[in-house]
Structure 1
Amino acid sequence: MTDVKNVLFVGVGGQGTILASKILTMGLIAHGYDVKMSEVHGMSQRGGSVSTQVRFGAKVYSPIIGEGTADILVSFEEMEAARYAKFLKKDGKIVVNACRIPSMPVLSGTCQYPEGVIAALQECVSVLAIDATQIASDLGNPKSANVVLLGALVEALGLHDIDWKGIISQTVKKNFVDMNLQAFEAGMAAM
């Protein structure tokens, strides 16, 4: 636990980025890591960008991840991955949901959603793209895509020795525990 790891979650309001980062934070704390977390909601209730920064290690002094310092960027939507890619280290990774949520300018017809976002990112950094929304939908609830992505992140970081099932069971509403446990396992398997 000597190195500090930096994980940046990004998405659009309502996708569950904050819940996923809270589950990660709780699991890391329970395992003995020093953890700092910060949230930026922005216009999240209006479909705007949301980001959460989680830093963990033996000793963490600040919750802020600067540009060029994130080990992993977890993006809940393609354009958010492109928007926040500048925060990655040169050898960083992106775990991205191959999902598009059109912004207000796209919806109003003033611009088009860009094509080939994931392919463009793959030219510059290591990108692990999964269709978390489809995986979650196949399990019965597309809203659990956030926990699918959390499972993919845990697999990418190799954080297998934490009781994620227990942490998820304590964190999500009781009616959704089983579905979220399945989503978590599906995300791990997708990696």
Structure 2
Amino acid sequence: MSDVKNILLVGVGGQGTILASKILTEGLVEAGYEVKMSEIHGMSQRGGNVSTQIRYGKQVFSPIVGKGEADVIVAFEKMEALRWVEYLRPEGKMVINDFEIPSVPILMGKVEYPQGILEELSEKVSVIVIKAAEIAEAIGNSKTMNIVLLGALVKAMNVDGADWKKAIVNNVKKGFEEINLKAFEAGFQL
């Protein structure tokens, strides 16, 4: 049996999915794991779907997570959770940010944002819902919801030997280190 763990982070362009993945990857490498990461951008950097696949363990040969293989999926937006659920393994967990970003067809009035996503997913898989946007706003910057979600993920992963503070400081824009550290801690305490 493989010791490799598979994580997907999925969201919409502009939510900081790739930044969270880079911080996670750096922390896992520092903790002594071999890590492979792959990122996919949708049709546009802002508003298109974005996913990152992270695999870590003693020996990892590929960065690709296949359908039914993810141990954890972190969805930065509810519709993305619905789009990626088939990648979750039967005993996996899905962490969902209770947040909506309407797609272009929704903004144009051609379709409505799907209702009941959280309820539908809860009937199929193990779901943890986080209101990361509210938490990020409460600490002073709504753009840190990605780091709130990262903190919650890291806590659930229970990885020893990583300096998460260093990984955050190394990857966020200068001048935003402290607010991102607060966001990470808020997510970690969930």
What is the TM-score when the length of structure 1 is the normalising length?
A: 0.96
Report the equivalent of 1:177. Answer: 177
CA positional deviation for 1:160: 4.7
Report the equivalent of 1:17. Answer: 17
- What do you get for the CA RMSD once the two structures are aligned? 1.0
Name the SS of the counterpart of 1:114 in structure 2: coil
Report the equivalent of 1:4. Answer: 4
Deviations 1:109-150 (A, max 9, x none): 111111110111111111111110111111111110000000
1:31 aligns to 2:31 (yes or no): yes
Quick one: which amino acid aligns to residue 174 of structure 2? K
Deviations 1:151-188 (A, max 9, x none): 01011111254211121112212211110010001111
Matches within 5 A, 1:32-111: 32-111=32-111
Distance 1:54 1:134 in 2: 27
Distance 1:122 1:160 in 2: 30
Name the SS of the counterpart of 1:174 in structure 2: coil
Count of aligned residue pairs for this structure pair: 189
Distance 2:162 2:69 in 1: 25
Name the SS of the counterpart of 1:11 in structure 2: strand
CA positional deviation for 1:45: 2.2
Quick one: which amino acid aligns to residue 59 of structure 1? Q
Report the equivalent of 1:143. Answer: 143
Judge conservation of contact 1:154–1:160 (CA < 8 Å) in 2: no
Report the equivalent of 1:114. Answer: 114
**Gaps spanning 5+ residues in structure 2: where?**
none
Distance 2:158 2:129 in 1: 17
Judge conservation of contact 1:9–1:52 (CA < 8 Å) in 2: yes
Deviates more, 1:160-169 or 1:19-28: 160-169
**Gaps spanning 5+ residues in structure 1: where?**
none
CA positional deviation for 1:44: 3.4
Identical pairs, percent: 58
Name the SS of the counterpart of 2:149 in structure 1: helix
Judge conservation of contact 1:147–1:184 (CA < 8 Å) in 2: yes
What is the TM-score when the length of structure 2 is the normalising length?
A: 0.96
Judge conservation of contact 1:14–1:44 (CA < 8 Å) in 2: no
Where do 4+ consecutive residues of structure 1 move more than 2 Å? none
Distance 1:4 1:44 in 2: 31
Residues 157 and 75 (structure 1 numbering): CA distance in 2 closer, same or farther, change over 3 Å? same
Name the SS of the counterpart of 1:118 in structure 2: helix
1:124 aligns to 2:127 (yes or no): no
Deviations 1:31-79 (A, max 9, x none): 1100000010122324010000000000000000000000000100000
Name the SS of the counterpart of 2:124 in structure 1: coil
Judge conservation of contact 2:74–2:94 (CA < 8 Å) in 1: yes
